[in-house]
A and B are shown apart, each in its own frame.
Chain A
């Protein structure tokens, strides 16, 4: 299924609406649902939407999912998903929380080198933006 057919799909619209609603849902449980269901989806577009929704929440928990987790957000296997997440991070009005998490990820010993490298690159981009 190509991208246009996907966007016109009724179920895709339904998934999109649910993910968007979780992005603005005030309950902290929304992050857990997005992480558990959205970021683990086999569909790139769903993972992309989920990562963007997590960035838009701009909370410690939600940003940690897309920055410090292997295979999710900026560390996703799909370049499109990773780049979209980075673009969303750069679009944040208040980048304070994201910068904190990026610095923690870079300086922390408990993360993969690949994750740290991605965090370093994104931090450099955010500092320039």
Chain B
């Protein structure tokens, strides 16, 4: 079959779509419900699994890969394929783009959230742990302190210190000296 004949056949198919439509099960094509079921773009990245299984049921005949490429070129060059086809393509492209963007965004979000959560958790846990350890240490220190030292004023501290001294040898001289100084102050004031 010459190339011209093949093109004629293909044209016949394109413009009499209802005659040649066939339900094709596609396993690898996520857009199986779209207009690609008309097998217009046979050179597309999506390939029918059914076409692989039953080569005989091809309405384009046993087209070689080279022929398919030619048909695709031909179809691509047609400017009057109609709005339906163009819209379908656009929709698919838009869908693909939005899917891709959605997936990328979702992935980025997951990554972001995941890394954030891990970061916050680690830092938060660390800071909480440090705080807890710090407060525990402080509490331990406070509890290990002599309780009286928390309330004792300098005056009381001095009295406690003096009360442990020997009255005759240590305290008596100090008292005598302090009294003499006080009496001297009183004389000065008088």
Do chains A and B interact in one complex? yes
- Does the CB pair B182–A43 fall under 8 Å? yes
- Does the CB pair A17–B155 fall under 8 Å? yes
What residue in chain B is nearest A6 (Cβ atoms)?
B186
Is A37 in contact with chain B by the CB < 8 A criterion? Answer: yes
Interface size on B, as a range, is 20 to 34
B interface footprint on A97-110 (CB within 8 Å = 1, 0 otherwise): 00000000000000
Residues of B in contact with A (beta carbons under 8 Å apart): 155, 158-168, 171-172, 174-176, 178-179, 181-183, 185-186, 189-190
Per the 8 Å Cβ criterion, residues 16-67 of A in contact with B are: 17-22, 24-25, 27, 29-30, 32-33, 36-38, 41-43, 46
Using A17-B155, A24-B163 as known contacts, say yes or no to A1 and B183 having CB atoms under 8 A apart.
no
- Does the CB pair B182–A9 fall under 8 Å? yes
Residues of A in contact with B (beta carbons under 8 Å apart): 1, 5-6, 9, 11-15, 17-22, 24-25, 27, 29-30, 32-33, 36-38, 41-43, 46
Using A29-B167, A42-B183 as known contacts, say yes or no to A15 and B159 having CB atoms under 8 A apart.
no
Residues of A within 8 A of B175 (CB): 15, 18-19, 22, 33, 37-38
- Does the CB pair A25–B155 fall under 8 Å? no
- Does the CB pair B182–A12 fall under 8 Å? yes
